[in-house]
């Protein structure tokens, strides 16, 4: 994979938001709907392209801080006394990556009501107008009943926003929304099953070079892992382990960096798994195992549309496939699995058996190696790659431990910042 590859940022963000929507069926397409409404209002206002792009990124990730199902359901209530914790946690996560820093500020304040002008600031910080646009767009989206024809709902929704103009929403934004709302196409686009295609054509946010994707994917790994204190270090461990093994296997520097990115992204699909399952302090029941097994499928589908990430997508998504075809979710066999995918599978098992899990402590070095060798002997994992791990176990494990200690520190710092902001 060449260093000159550039990845479309918006498509990557849409993939993330699509998986997040799966946490709660009631909000499927919610992020894309809010982004579409926000972008349409911004265009009507004549906002510069740069501001529109920042607004769209923020809208597409505005609920990234709402980790738990309960949080997502509460956000559907229109007149809720809005909690700001998820907005602050989203801000703390997104501000860590340069392409998302301005979007992070918008996310931070996207539930601040206008209150006849008081909403120009919140807790001593200036509230960007873009935050008020996302706030309005968010409430428009949750006002739509997906079980009814959207065109028949327009008068009631518009009346509601007239009523709350000046109180919850900035009046001039309400005026722009009401003007936009006169077009049936606006509403039909919002509920269209082709919304992703419509959004991609409507929004021309640029690309990021592959070498910058390492930092962005690390932020995504935190979003995935921070949902559960049990998994707060897992993606960092897999990223470090897979990169280490790939170096020992003779991969180029560019391929090793791509492997690290794949490690950070390999569990994106876990955003679709309820926190109650991720956090369960016991072995999962059969039905919960089936739900958990869907996460690699969701990882694949989230990344699949990005052609530039084809190789990384396979490395990330096939980490539970086995050489004998007994893995999941695609039941691929040895001929279908590249060396990178085989390395990722070994790295995931290695990390899982050497770290604490919700239902058990980490295994001893001897037992961890026994698991890996046993799976290689059963034709589940690649023998040659397991041999590399066997020969360099101490070195690889030290790299994993260092990466996970750093992740623990970052998680604690994140929680401290969140507690301070919401204290």
pLDDT one-digit tens code per residue, 130-145: 999 999 999 999 999 9
Question: What is the model's pLDDT at position 73?
Answer: 46
| 46 Ramachandran zone, left/alpha/beta (phi>0; psi -120 to 50) | left
Contacts 24+ apart (CB under 8 A), 115-122: 115/167, 116/166, 116/167, 119/170, 122/84
- Do 180 and 216 belong together in one domain? no
Question: How many Cβ atoms from other residues are within 10 Å of residue 292's Cβ?
Answer: 18
Nearest partner of 54 among 100, 88, 110, 6, judged by Cα: 100
- Read off the pLDDT of each residue in 97-119 and give the average, rounded to a whole number: 93
Q: Which two tokens stand for residue 209?
A: 């070079």
| 252 Ramachandran zone, left/alpha/beta (phi>0; psi -120 to 50) | beta
Q: Which two tokens stand for residue 122?
A: 């919140």
Calpha distance 221→265 (Å, rounded): 6
Compute the 3-state secondary structure of the chain and give helix, strand, coil in percent, each to the nearest 5.
Answer: 65, 5, 30
Is residue 140 in some structural domain?
A: yes
pLDDT of residue 375 exceeding 90, the answer is yes
- Do 196 and 214 belong together in one domain? no
Q: Which of 6-15, 114-123, 288-297 has the lowest mean pLDDT?
A: 6-15
Q: Which of 252-256, 277-281, 286-290, 300-304 has the lowest mean pLDDT?
A: 277-281
Nearest partner of 302 among 344, 275, 270, 327, judged by Cα: 270
Question: How many Cβ atoms from other residues are within 10 Å of residue 312's Cβ?
Answer: 28
- Do 336 and 350 belong together in one domain? yes
Is residue 175 in some structural domain?
A: yes
pLDDT of residue 21 exceeding 80, the answer is no
- Do 363 and 381 belong together in one domain? yes
- How does 58-72 read in b/e, with b if 16+ C-beta sit within 10 Å? bbbbbbbbbbbeebb
CA distances from 277 to 63, 140, 272, 383 (A): 20, 31, 11, 32
CA distances from 345 to 45, 259, 303, 336 (A): 49, 12, 18, 13
Is residue 145 in some structural domain?
A: yes
Residues counted in the chain: 423
- Read off the pLDDT of each residue in 97-107 and give the average, rounded to a whole number: 90
Provide the pLDDT confidence category of residue 372 given band limits of 50, 70 and 90: very high
Among 205, 229, 244, which residue terminates a domain?
205
Q: Which of 90-104, 110-124, 135-149, 157-171 has the lowest mean pLDDT?
A: 90-104
Is residue 3 in some structural domain?
A: no
| Element containing residue 207 per DSSP (H, E) | strand 207-209
Calpha distance 8→130 (Å, rounded): 23
Is residue 65 in some structural domain?
A: yes
Calpha distance 56→159 (Å, rounded): 26
- Do 284 and 325 belong together in one domain? yes
Dihedral over Cα of 288, 93, 256, 391: its sign: negative
- Read off the pLDDT of each residue in 247-271 and give the average, rounded to a whole number: 94
Is residue 111 in some structural domain?
A: yes
- Read off the pLDDT of each residue in 405-409 and give the average, rounded to a whole number: 87
- The pair phi, psi for residue 84, each rounded to 5°, is -110, 0
Residue 383 burial class via C-beta count within 10 angstroms: exposed 0-12, middle 13-18, buried 19 and up = middle
Question: What is the model's pLDDT at position 74?
Answer: 52
Residue 207, beta-bridge partner list: 8
Nearest partner of 316 among 233, 217, 229, judged by Cα: 217
CATH of the domain at 37: 1.10.3210.10
Is residue 1 in some structural domain?
A: no
- Do 184 and 250 belong together in one domain? no
Calpha distance 109→312 (Å, rounded): 34
Provide the pLDDT confidence category of residue 24 given band limits of 50, 70 and 90: low
Whole-prediction pTM = 0.86
- Do 223 and 174 belong together in one domain? no
- Do 220 and 368 belong together in one domain? yes
State how many domains the chain has: 2
Domain residue limits at 64 = 8-205
Among 174, 205, 236, which residue terminates a domain?
205
- Do 234 and 312 belong together in one domain? yes
Residue 69 makes CB contacts below 8 A (sequence gap 6+) with 23, 24, 274, 275, 276
Q: Tell me the pLDDT tens digit for each residue of 166-223.
A: 999 999 999 999 999 999 999 999 999 899 888 888 887 778 887 778 878 888 888 7
Provide the pLDDT confidence category of residue 79 given band limits of 50, 70 and 90: very low
Provide the pLDDT confidence category of residue 69 given band limits of 50, 70 and 90: very low
Calpha distance 351→340 (Å, rounded): 16
Among 205, 238, 262, which residue terminates a domain?
205
Calpha distance 239→237 (Å, rounded): 5
| Element containing residue 8 per DSSP (H, E) | strand 6-8
Calpha distance 194→295 (Å, rounded): 24
CA distances from 347 to 55, 96, 253, 315, 350 (A): 37, 26, 18, 11, 5
- Do 400 and 283 belong together in one domain? yes
- Do 163 and 230 belong together in one domain? no
- Do 201 and 300 belong together in one domain? no
Provide the pLDDT confidence category of residue 293 given band limits of 50, 70 and 90: very high
- Read off the pLDDT of each residue in 286-299 and give the average, rounded to a whole number: 94
Alpha helices in 77-170 (DSSP H): 85-94, 101-108, 129-143, 154-164
When the pLDDT of each residue in the chain is averaged and rounded to a whole number, the result is 89
Calpha distance 149→202 (Å, rounded): 24
Question: What is the model's pLDDT at position 26?
Answer: 62
Is residue 28 in some structural domain?
A: yes
pLDDT of residue 83 exceeding 70, the answer is no
Question: What is the model's pLDDT at position 408?
Answer: 84
């Amino acid at each position: 994979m060449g260093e000159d590859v550039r990845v479309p940022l918006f498509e990557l963000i849409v993939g993330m938001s699509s998986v997040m929507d799966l946490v709660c069926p009631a909000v499927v397409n919610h992020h894309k709907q809010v982004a579409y409404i926000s972008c349409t209002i911004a265009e009507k206002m004549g906002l510069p392209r740069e501001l529109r792009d920042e607004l769209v990124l923020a809208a597409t990730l505005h609920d990234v801080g709402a980790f738990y199902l309960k949080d997502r359901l509460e956000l559907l209530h229109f007149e809720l006394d809005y909690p700001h914790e998820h907005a602050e946690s989203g801000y703390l996560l997104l501000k860590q990556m340069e392409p998302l820093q301005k979007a992070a500020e918008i996310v931070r304040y996207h539930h601040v009501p206008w209150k006849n002008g008081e909403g120009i600031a919140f807790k001593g910080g200036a509230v960007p107008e873009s935050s008020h646009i996302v706030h309005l767009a968010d409430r428009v989206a949750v006002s739509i009943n997906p079980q009814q024809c959207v065109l028949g709902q327009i008068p009631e929704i518009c009346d509601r926003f007239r009523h709350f103009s000046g109180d919850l929403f900035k009046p001039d934004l309400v005026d722009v929304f009401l003007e936009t709302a006169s077009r049936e196409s606006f509403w039909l686009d919002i509920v269209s099953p082709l919304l992703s295609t419509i959004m991609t054509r409507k929004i021309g946010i640029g690309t990021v070079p592959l070498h910058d994707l390492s930092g962005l994917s690390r932020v995504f790994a935190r979003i995935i892992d921070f949902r559960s204190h049990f998994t707060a270090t897992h993606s960092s461990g897999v990223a470090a382990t897979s990169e280490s093994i790939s170096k020992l296997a003779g991969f180029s520097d560019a391929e090793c960096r791509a492997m690290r990115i794949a490690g950070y992204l390999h569990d994106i699909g876990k955003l679709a798994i309820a926190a109650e399952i991720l956090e369960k302090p016991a072995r999962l029941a059969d039905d919960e195992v089936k739900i958990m097994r869907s996460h690699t499928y969701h990882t694949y589908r989230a990344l699949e549309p990005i052609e530039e990430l084809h190789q990384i997508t396979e490395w990330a998504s096939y980490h539970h496939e086995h050489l004998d075809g007994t893995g999941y979710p695609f039941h691929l066999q040895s001929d279908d699995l590249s060396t990178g995918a085989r390395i990722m599978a070994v790295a995931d098992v290695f990390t899982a058996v050497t770290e604490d899990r919700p239902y058990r402590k980490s295994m001893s070095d001897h037992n961890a190696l026994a698991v890996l060798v046993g799976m290689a002997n059963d034709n589940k994992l690649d023998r040659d790659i397991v041999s590399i791990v066997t020969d360099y176990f101490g070195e690889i494990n030290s790299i994993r431990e260092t990466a996970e200690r750093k992740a623990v520190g970052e998680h604690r710092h994140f929680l401290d910042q969140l507690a301070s902001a919401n204290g």
